[in-house]
Amino acid sequence: MNETQQKCFDILVEIDRVCKAANLKYFIYAGTLLGAVRHNGFIPWDDDIDIVMMRKDYNRFPQACLEYLNKDKFELQSIYTDPNTSNPWMKLHDRNTAFISGGRKDGAMEGINIDIFPIDNAPEQSCKLKNRARYFDTMNFIYQYRFQYHNPKASWKMRVFQYLISFIPPFKEQAFKEKYDRKIQDYNHYQTRNVVYFSNRKYMRKVIDRSVFAETEFIQFETQKFPAPSGWKEVLIHLYGDNYMQLPPIEQQKTVHGSAIVDLEHSWREYKRGDNGYEKI
CB neighbour class for 137 (10 Å; exposed up to 12, middle 13-18, buried from 19)? middle
Q: What tens-digit pLDDT sequence spans the chain (281 residues)?
A: 899 999 999 999 999 999 999 999 999 999 999 999 999 999 999 989 999 999 999 999 999 999 999 999 999 999 999 999 989 999 999 999 999 988 888 899 999 999 999 999 999 999 999 999 999 999 998 988 999 898 888 999 999 999 999 999 999 999 999 999 999 999 999 999 999 998 777 899 999 999 999 999 999 999 999 999 999 999 999 999 999 999 999 988 887 666 789 999 999 999 999 888 898 98
Q: Which residues contact 121 (CB under 8 A, 6 or more apart)?
A: 187, 188, 190, 192, 194, 195, 196
Q: What predicted TM-score, i.e. pTM, was given to this entire model?
A: 0.93
